[in-house]
Structure 1
Amino acid sequence: MLLKSLYNSERFLKIIFGLSLFIVLVMGGFAYKYVKELSESFDEVQDAYQLHIELEKLLSALKDAESGKRAYIISKDSTFLEPLLVSGSELDNSLKRLKDLTKDQPEHQENIAELELKIDNSLKIFEKTLQLAQNNEVESAEFISAFREGRQTMNSVRFKVLEMTTHENELLGSKKARSSRSLSNAPMFVYYILIISLLILLLTYLQISKNLKILKEKNELLETFKESTTQSEIISKHGNWIWHIEDNTFEYSDNLYRLLGEEPQSFEPTLENFIAFTHPDDLDKLMEQVNKMMENEDLPFIHYRIIQKNGTIKHFKAYGKVLIDSDGHKKLLGTTADITDEIVNYRLIEERNLELERNNKELASFNYVASHDLQEPLRKIQTFISRLEEKEQDNLSSNGKVYIQRIKSSSGRMRSLIDDLLQFSRTNKSEEAFEDSNLNILLETAKHDLAEIISDKRARISSDSIPSMKVIPFQIKQLFLNLMSNSLKYSRENVAPVITISYSQTDISDLPKVKFSKHNRYHTITVKDNGIGFDQEYAEQIFTLFSRLHNKNEYSGTGIGLSICKKIVENHQGYIIAESHLNQGATFTVYLPITS
């Protein structure tokens, strides 16, 4: 994995490319070396050839001089002396060229110096024998001795030239063998280096080609992202800007110009041009924030207003954060959003909240009227009905007695309805303090309130031990009271009600229809009865305010009791569900969160 990531990295490609260039340079160096060696070998061969020629010229000049001298002795013809006259200058020139050719070869220099002495000695003998021959002393012992000495000297010169030629040939041969070995290995070495370089370059090319393809795809994604960002800026009404801190220059996105009511890039992106749109009342505040931004290289959230050229006032919110790029350059990336709609909506919400407060006060006044003013005339109606029944019973017709009973029943339902509405109103207020409460005591208190009806219906109620928890005590008591009252009310005819209250704990993952919650576990309280039950399709409807599944003549009630139960459970951030089948009883399950 590490090798793969290294292979795909830009640094690796740079290393490979540099290595390839280095290998090419090394190849060039070796090629230059071999070419130079070949050139030096050629120069050495050329110098050796010149050396041979000069030695041959030198030897030839000596031979011509000796031949001319012999011919002159025999024929006495002076024309044969011309080679001898010319040979002097030729010998000097040859010796000079030999010295130049072997100036970097000490051994040859020594041989040339020795050869020069022999030639000088030979020329002196030539002059001596020539002088004796011109004096007709050819037969003299001196001439014969000098002639023999000249022949020996000439032979020593010839042997010296041969020795120098042989030595040069040996040097040339060894150099040739060494150059041959070097030059014979050079093509194979260069070939291998070339193959390796080509393979490395090919590998680099393939990776660069792959990276170019990826770069092209990323560029296309960037273009798409750029367009998406532009659309996002337009939809969300915000614009982006960049402050290059070191250069003190700015860049504005197209939509920032649109927020100012201008065409994109219609003016130079400078701080002065932007501030020119600022509302006069917010100018000092904005300049203070900008100066802090320049000083601290940071921009916390700021709010200000701008005025477009058409006079429209907009509310802006801006934020900036410093980033440092890979080259160490600092830049502050900023976002400016048009929050005019938010401000307008906020003010509208404030107005509506004020209206809700007024309505709440009116509702509170209504509650007061319902609990006092409405109750008082209702009590008087019920009092007068009772008096009519007591004192005028015998004077009433049969229809009158029926009407009295109906008025009495209606006034009783109205009183129950007012009491339940007041109870629901109290339950809607969840700001009461939570207290560590013993739910077993609250349950027993609720049972005590229902003692008369429990006794009349010969009901049996059993319950598990419920742990203490933080609740609103009177609301939990009301919860138990309403659930048990509901079970007692809807019991089957001629069947004693049996109510079972059980306790357990449930994980959030096991709660039905609950996908998210800030609590992980819940207290689970189940109230199960053996009453008439209901069809499961009405399991949600029964918790709706004033919802009734039965006619008021069949079962009394206002349809508020279970709504109060649901509101109490919601006040405790819990859930309540109902499960039932007709004539098979009903089960109400309450989930209250376990808090630390």
Structure 2
Amino acid sequence: MNIKSIFKSTRFLKITFGISLFVILCMGGLAYKHLQTLIKSFDLVEHTYEVNIELEQILSYLKDSETGQRGYLISEDTRFLESFFSGREKTNNSFARLKELTKKDERQQQKLRDLTILIDKNLNYFDETFKFSKNDNLDSKEFDALLLAGKKTMDNIRLEINQMITHNNNLLRIRKLDNERSITNTPIIIYSVLIIALLLLLFTYSKINNDIKNLQTKNLQLEIFKESTNQSEIVSKHGTWNWFIEENKFSYSDNLYRLLGEQPQSFEPTLENFMQFVHPEDVDKLKKQVEKMIQTEDLPFIYYRIVQKNGSIRHFKAYGKVLTDNEENRRLIGTTADITDEIENYRLLEERNFELERNNKELSSFNHVASHDLQEPLRKIQTFISRLEEKEASNLSERGNLYLERIKTSSTRMRLLIDDLLQFSRTNKSEEVFEETNMNIILENAKQELAETILEKDAIITSETIPTLTVIPFQLQQLFINLIGNSLKYSKKEVSPNIKISYNKVDASDVKKIKNTKFNFYHKITFEDNGIGFDEEYAEKIFVLFSRLHNKNEYSGTGIGLSICKKIVENHQGYIFATGKPNIGSIFEVYLPFN
């Protein structure tokens, strides 16, 4: 199957549609994944903001605690302790929240652990300073040292928190970039997915639409083909039928009903109903063929007769062949033809062959009569004419001698005519055997037959070597005798005949006169003379039986010799052609198949 047929196939459309759905699903999954990434990016940015807020709140709560502590130490007013204790509580809550938010960030977790130590230390310093406040010992060096240590711890806490905020801001910047990139790419990706999906759907739709148009065109063609098939069945007198093997059901074409002498689809297409039309003498034979068909799922040519309701007997010929479709369903497609006319024509042909054989026998009888019974009286006539010339010529008047000469000439012509007719009838016999023959010997024998005429006319005959051919020997010898004799007969007066015989092998395609031949090469034997020639318009007429171009008083002959030549060449599935020019000469070309 070539690429073009694959592209047009239904399977290709199904594969394309499946790929389209798969690509759309993949692109949809990609878009969904990208959206999830975008949402995650938003969450990370929000998470980063939350961490920053909690860090700043911790720092704020610690400041509140520190402010409450200092206010209490200075004023000893217990109202300042409210902000101190609430600050500590809020610090613990924010710290717990912050620890949860940064659980996936190991660096921040480490910072929180460090920060925990500093906050605990700072809170311890707060507690120690309260002890000095209760004992009114605020002016001692130990108290000053605690305040200084608390300040340093608070500074370290601020430093840690600032470092955590800086780290978080860096993360925030990176996540914002990712977020912005995701926001920028998301519309492009979604738009690309939509475009690709749309293109795939448009391609699939175009292919489906094109297939629908092709299907409509093919359906129209099928309708036309169906109608032409119906007309063809009517004209050719045949009908079709189908046997669906798996379902064991039959279907008959309309014309099969007509062949049975019934209206189309006038009865159910079953084997039993069909058998009702079969000739009683052929029922058993047909049943055996059908049983064999069911077993072998094959039906060779079978012949049987049917009887129509009007009593007409028709001869049928049927044939069937199994076909399997794409779904492995088998059915036997059969054709039944009405061959009644063929049977009648065959019978008529047999009668004509019988008549032809009878005519051939009569012709053989005629040949026998012509060769024996007719020639015997003719010989006696010529004998008595000879005696009259010898013994009674002096007693005859001048007119009597003239009549005697005319009788002699006519009897000679009659004898020549009988001989030529016998020779022509011999060339019509098809039972002659082909033999490998030395054509040069055949040519020499022909010259010997014409030796007296050759010497009499002082003729010059030159010939090329001819290879051994598979021919009917005596017919080819007669061919050579007739062609050479024709050149001798129609030679110019007082000019010695010059006959050239040449041979060569030719390609059939190079010979324009040879058409629709089954042979590729031919043996070409050419006979060329310097005789009186003839006009080209008579090139085909000279081969017609009894056709003469010259008056019988000018040149002797019966008009059969060249007809015999043509018949001999045709017996060898060859061709003979003649060309000539008046007072220049003639050329006869013989083409024999190269086997």
Smaller-chain TM-score bracket: 0.7 to 0.9
Match of 1:320 in 2: 321
Please tell me the residue identity of whatever aligns with 2:369: V
Kept in 2: contact 1:433–1:472 (CA 8 A): yes
DSSP-derived class of the 2:367 partner: helix
- Of the structure 1 ranges 424-433 and 240-249, higher mean CA displacement relative to structure 2 is found in 240-249
Q: Distance in 1 between matches of 2:277 and 2:96?
A: 97
Please tell me the residue identity of whatever aligns with 1:93: N
Unaligned runs of 5+ in 1: none
- Match 1:164 to one of 144, 161, 166: 161
Q: Distance in 2 between matches of 1:385 and 1:429?
A: 36
Match of 1:480 in 2: 480
- Of the structure 1 ranges 336-345 and 222-231, higher mean CA displacement relative to structure 2 is found in 222-231
Give CA-to-partner distance per residue, 1:337-376, whole Å, 9 cap, x none: 6362545444443333233222222222222233333334
- Of the structure 1 ranges 462-471 and 572-581, higher mean CA displacement relative to structure 2 is found in 462-471
Q: Distance in 2 between matches of 1:377 and 1:6?
A: 84
Match of 2:578 in 1: 578
Change (3 A) 1:240 1:197: farther
Show the 5 A alignment for 1:406-485.
Answer: 406-485=406-485
Match of 1:286 in 2: 289
Quote the offset at 1:245 in angstroms: 8.0
DSSP-derived class of the 2:501 partner: strand
Give CA-to-partner distance per residue, 1:393-437, whole Å, 9 cap, x none: 688777666655555544443333222211111111132122333
- Of the structure 1 ranges 187-196 and 83-92, higher mean CA displacement relative to structure 2 is found in 187-196
Match of 2:539 in 1: 539
Quote the offset at 1:478 in angstroms: 1.5
Kept in 2: contact 1:34–1:186 (CA 8 A): no
Show the 5 A alignment for 1:4-15.
Answer: none
Change (3 A) 1:581 1:72: closer
**% identical aligned pairs:** 49
Match of 1:501 in 2: 501
Unaligned runs of 5+ in 2: none
Match of 1:302 in 2: 301
Q: Distance in 2 between matches of 1:377 and 1:586?
A: 38
Change (3 A) 1:204 1:509: farther
Change (3 A) 1:110 1:497: closer
Give CA-to-partner distance per residue, 1:199-245, whole Å, 9 cap, x none: 99979988997998799679858965884586367437467788888
Quote the offset at 1:543 in angstroms: 0.7
Quote the offset at 1:545 in angstroms: 0.8
- Of the structure 1 ranges 560-569 and 302-311, higher mean CA displacement relative to structure 2 is found in 302-311
Q: Distance in 1 between matches of 2:89 and 2:147?
A: 20
Change (3 A) 1:214 1:528: farther
Kept in 1: contact 2:307–2:314 (CA 8 A): yes
Kept in 2: contact 1:240–1:335 (CA 8 A): yes
Q: Distance in 1 between matches of 2:5 and 2:423?
A: 73
Give CA-to-partner distance per residue, 1:24-83, whole Å, 9 cap, x none: 777767665655454344323323333343344444445445555655666676655544
Quote the offset at 1:174 in angstroms: 3.9
Quote the offset at 1:316 in angstroms: 3.1
Match of 2:373 in 1: 373
Please tell me the residue identity of whatever aligns with 1:536: E
Match of 1:490 in 2: 490
Q: Distance in 2 between matches of 1:243 and 1:338?
A: 17
Cα RMSD over matched residues?
5.3
Kept in 2: contact 1:242–1:331 (CA 8 A): no
Quote the offset at 1:479 in angstroms: 1.6
TM-score normalised per structure 1: 0.75
Kept in 1: contact 2:13–2:208 (CA 8 A): no
Q: Distance in 2 between matches of 1:277 and 1:183?
A: 89
Match of 1:104 in 2: 104
Match of 2:136 in 1: 139
Kept in 2: contact 1:483–1:527 (CA 8 A): yes
Show the 5 A alignment for 1:225-304.
Answer: 227=224, 231=228, 234-235=231-232, 237=236, 280-291=283-294, 293-294=296-297, 299=298, 301-304=300-303
Please tell me the residue identity of whatever aligns with 1:160: I
Kept in 2: contact 1:13–1:204 (CA 8 A): no
Match of 1:554 in 2: 554
**1:180 maps onto 2:177 in alignment:** yes
Kept in 2: contact 1:41–1:175 (CA 8 A): no
Kept in 2: contact 1:115–1:157 (CA 8 A): no
Q: Distance in 1 between matches of 2:269 and 2:60?
A: 95
Please tell me the residue identity of whatever aligns with 1:370: A
Q: Distance in 2 between matches of 1:266 and 1:217?
A: 35
Kept in 2: contact 1:508–1:520 (CA 8 A): yes
Match of 1:524 in 2: 524
Change (3 A) 1:142 1:254: farther
- Of the structure 1 ranges 161-170 and 477-486, higher mean CA displacement relative to structure 2 is found in 161-170
DSSP-derived class of the 1:531 partner: coil
DSSP-derived class of the 1:530 partner: coil
Please tell me the residue identity of whatever aligns with 1:350: E
Kept in 2: contact 1:243–1:332 (CA 8 A): yes
Change (3 A) 1:266 1:68: farther
Quote the offset at 1:562 in angstroms: 0.9
Please tell me the residue identity of whatever aligns with 1:303: I
DSSP-derived class of the 2:555 partner: coil
Change (3 A) 1:563 1:321: farther
Change (3 A) 1:118 1:278: farther
Show the 5 A alignment for 1:9-158.
Answer: 35-65=35-65, 67-68=67-68, 81-83=81-83, 86-87=86-87, 90-109=90-109, 111-112=111-112, 115=115, 137=134, 139-140=136-137, 149=146, 152-153=149-150, 156=153
DSSP-derived class of the 1:513 partner: coil
Give CA-to-partner distance per residue, 1:283-303, whole Å, 9 cap, x none: 234324424543xxxx47423
DSSP-derived class of the 1:588 partner: strand
- Of the structure 1 ranges 332-341 and 408-417, higher mean CA displacement relative to structure 2 is found in 332-341
- Of the structure 1 ranges 62-71 and 529-538, higher mean CA displacement relative to structure 2 is found in 62-71
Quote the offset at 1:538 in angstroms: 0.7
Please tell me the residue identity of whatever aligns with 2:301: I
Q: Distance in 1 between matches of 2:64 and 2:499?
A: 154
Quote the offset at 1:88 in angstroms: 6.0
Q: Distance in 2 between matches of 1:488 and 1:270?
A: 79
Show the 5 A alignment for 1:338-417.
Answer: 338=337, 340=339, 341-382=341-382, 406-417=406-417
DSSP-derived class of the 1:577 partner: strand
DSSP-derived class of the 1:559 partner: coil
Match of 2:335 in 1: 336
Quote the offset at 1:568 in angstroms: 1.3
Change (3 A) 1:144 1:64: farther
Aligned length: 584
Change (3 A) 1:287 1:460: same
Q: Distance in 2 between matches of 1:323 and 1:259?
A: 28
Please tell me the residue identity of whatever aligns with 2:42: F
Change (3 A) 1:452 1:247: same
Kept in 2: contact 1:51–1:101 (CA 8 A): yes
Kept in 2: contact 1:439–1:466 (CA 8 A): yes
Change (3 A) 1:459 1:493: same
TM-score normalised per structure 2: 0.75
Please tell me the residue identity of whatever aligns with 1:302: F
- Of the structure 1 ranges 552-561 and 401-410, higher mean CA displacement relative to structure 2 is found in 401-410
